[in-house]
A and B are shown apart, each in its own frame.
Chain A
Amino acid sequence: MSTSPLLEIKELRIAFGRSHHSAVAVNNVSLDLGVGEVVGLVGESGSGKSLTCRSVIRMMPSSGLMTATEINFDGRDIMSLSPAQLREHRAHNVGMIFQDPFSCLDPTKRIGEQIAETLRVNAGLASATAHDRALELLRSVNIDKPEQRYRAYPHELSGGMRQRVMIAIAVSAKPKLLVADEPTTALDVTTQAQILTLIKQLRAETGMSVLLVSHDFGVIAQVCDRVAVMYGGYVVEFGPVRDICTRPQHPYTRALLESIPSMESAGRHVRRAGILGQPPSLGDVVEGCPFASRCSFATPQCRSIEMTRRTVGEGHTSACPFVGDDLVSQGAGPIGRADSTEGDAS
């Protein structure tokens, strides 16, 4: 990418439990994010994507231990911030929105006051100014009748409206980075599209960067410039969205893309290719590639490879030692089908 990096995560590791017998949830994750860029994190539940995005504000569950060589945000190492500096960083640099807008707002406070509180505390605005600015923010996230909505309690709003309020709070301090952890998962499809449009619109207006977490490749493809595919705590493939969608190099990415229903198949009976087996659970000690046990192309050496990504294209890296094009040329059928003719990993 031509943009200078705003965020650089180097060798992030997040583990739970005691040091000698810990469950590793995120392993050797390195990522970078340019100014104004939208990067997606995609993967199934438990792949470590939510933890990875929370590392940007160093917010871990109390039992989680987070280590990294460096997490550089705009020239500062997040890992070395004091508690006060960390609060400052959370308040001004990063805005965060969560999966479930139903539970992210204080149920006992009017939504306008919750926005205004953030403005007073984080931007140091006086009450009257904060009130006006909160109305402005409500308007900017396309909530109609903002004066009326200002006085509403969270339970009086729809899910999409609450997520708009969360976005208003997240962008209230004009952050350099918006972290959106599954922002549309709890919403219906129409609302999902509106929220994604809103995020794109705000990004275009403010020039902030976005780290978007989703399990849905469709969402990622709509919004992101680059995408990191996560599996079993590792980033298995990272690169430009277009490149990855058309030329997936890692077997897991290919399987993930295979599982998306396409428009062409609408109305016809085509069995979607699911991915056989289960992802590794937290606490399993996996040697080598964590996908090997489900991978149609696995070889014995997959159990001992080191999970580092190699360059496979311009700005495109993959952790699979085999290049995707070779896999295709080997004549492999669609990945992971029950009737796959390729040798099973077992």
Chain B
Amino acid sequence: MLSYVGRRVGISLVQLVGLALMAFILIHLAPGNEVRTMLGSRATPAQVRAVSNSLGLNRPLVTQFFTFIGHLLTVHFGQSFTFNQSISSLISERALPSAALIGYGTLVALVLGVPLAITGALRAGKPLDHGIRIFTTVSFAMPTFWSGLVLALIFALKLHWLPVSGYTGGFVGIVRSLTLPAIALGLSLLAVVVRTLRSSVRQVLSTEYVEAAQARGFSTPRVLAKHVVRNAIMPTVTVLAVNVGFLIGGTVVLEQVFQIPGLGSLLFQAVEQRDYPLVETLAVLSGGVVVLLNLLADLLQAVVDPRVRLGAQGG
């Protein structure tokens, strides 16, 4: 088990280094001059040069890259060009709403998706299964900003159950302000959960150990809960871990629609302003979250399925 964990963590570290390099290269390849954007079109070349110097942008790229890595390693992240604030304080202000939104959205997808997937697998090929497939396909096809607006129209403007937009603190406040965007996010993720889990549940249902459990007289709920779900859940967890990357992208739009002061809207502003250090840091951090979640998914797999630990136990 330990050697498995060690190997897996090593892979994650390599991924993180590659990620930092890509984030740095891509933002510096992007067209446009960040200092001109900041100063406006009437800035003189001397002013541009002075600001570039003070921000360290005229240094060689390699030096800039190592400064960036140094900032990452010290978790200091440096200073934002445009916000007059340190990046670490900006991110710590904005991280909670985004993390809560993604967590809440994933929860919605699981709470809706797991029962739908199991129902679909048990009724495979029957009308109910087709109905579930159509529902998830439609929910997947809806862009989150559109489903978000429709939800806001129904539950906020018509029924007045929840706020239309904006964000308030505290547990109740967070739940109230994030419910609608989280449902929009969850619906977009639902198809992935249902499709993946339905097919793996079907596969497990056809195995001989499920047949053997039924032959023992175990009830269907027991067989599902104790044997099927445990064996079928891992592909879904892995797919979810990968999809969190897409969710981070999805929050950019949703946070704009619902006026949530999260990392998505911060990233949007940072790209608009060519705020290099901020964009780089956000890209590396969100990528880092994906790497971390994939690491956790793989470790969880080793916990759930003893065969994954095989290397350590020597068969």
**Main secondary structure on chain B at its contact with chain A?**
helix
Interface size bracket, B side: 20 to 34
* A98 contacts B by Cβ under 8 Å: yes
**Residues of B contacting A109 in the complex (Cβ-Cβ under 8 angstroms):** 227
Q: Which residues of A contact B230 (CB under 8 A)?
A: 106, 108
Q: Chain B residues near A322 (CB, 8 Å)?
A: none
Q: Which residues in window 198-223 of B have CB below 8 A to A? A: 207-209, 211-219, 222
**Chain A residues closer than 8 Å to B213, beta-carbon distance:** 106
The answer to whether B211 and A59 have CB atoms under 8 Å apart is yes
Q: Cβ of B216 and Cβ of A107 under 8 Å apart?
A: no
Q: Does A156 contact B (CB under 8 A)?
A: yes
Q: Which chain B residue shows the least CB distance to A92?
A: B217
Whether the Cβ atoms of A103 and B217 lie closer than 8 Å is no
A-chain residues with CB within 8 Å of residue B217 when the two chains form the complex: 86-92, 121-122
- The chain B residue with its CB closest to the CB of A172 is B216
Q: Are A108 and B305 in contact (CB-based, < 8 A)?
A: yes
**Chain A binding surface, main DSSP class:** helix
Query: CB-CB < 8 A to A118: which residues of B?
Result: 216
- Cα separation A153 to B304 with both chains bound (whole Å): 12
B216 touches A106 (CB 8 A): no
Say yes or no: A98 contacts B306, CB within 8 Å: no
Report the tally of A-B residue pairs with Cβ distances under 8 A. Answer: 70
Bound-complex Cα distance A92 to B216 (A): 8
Which chain A residue shows the least CB distance to B219? A87
B231–A166 CB distance below 8 A: no
Chain A residues with CB below 8 A from B305, complex form: 107-108
B229 to chain A minimum Cβ distance, whole angstroms, is 11
Report the Cα distance A91→B278, complex, angstroms.
Answer: 63
- Whether B130 is near chain A, meaning CB under 8 Å from some CB there, is no
Question: Could you say which residues of chain B place their CB within 8 Å of the CB of A332?
Answer: none
Residue of B nearest to A153 (CB): B306
User: Of the candidates B209, B212, B315, which one forms a contact with A107 in the assembled complex, judged by CB atoms under 8 Å apart?
Assistant: B209
**What CA separation (Å) do A86 and B208 show in the bound complex?**
19
Question: Which residue on chain A has the smallest CB distance to residue B218?
Answer: A121
Q: Which residue of B lies closest to A179 (CB)?
A: B215
B92 CB–A CB distance under 8 Å: no
Write out the residue numbers on chain A whose beta carbons fall within 8 Å of the beta carbon of B214. 59, 90
Residues of the B chain whose Cβ atoms lie less than 8 Å from the Cβ of A92: 217
Q: Which of B205-252 contact A (CB under 8 A)?
A: 207-209, 211-219, 222, 226-227, 230-231
Q: Which residues of chain B have C-beta atoms less than 8 A from A88's C-beta?
A: 217
Say yes or no: B215 contacts A90, CB within 8 Å.
yes
B residues bordering A, Cβ < 8 Å? Answer: 207-209, 211-219, 222, 226-227, 230-231, 304-307, 310, 313, 315
Other A-B pairs beyond A98-B212, A121-B222, 12, CB < 8 Å: A59-B214, A87-B217, A90-B216, A94-B215, A96-B215, A96-B216, A107-B307, A109-B227, A121-B216, A121-B218, A155-B310, A155-B315
Can you list 28 contacts pairing A with B, beta carbon distance less than 8 Å?
A57-B215, A87-B217, A87-B218, A87-B219, A88-B217, A89-B217, A90-B215, A90-B217, A91-B218, A94-B215, A100-B208, A103-B207, A103-B208, A104-B209, A105-B209, A105-B212, A106-B213, A106-B230, A107-B231, A107-B305, A107-B307, A109-B227, A117-B226, A118-B216, A121-B217, A121-B222, A122-B217, A155-B307
State the 8 A-B residue pairs at the shortest beta-carbon distance, nearest first.
A91-B217, A90-B217, A96-B215, A153-B306, A103-B208, A87-B217, A104-B212, A104-B208
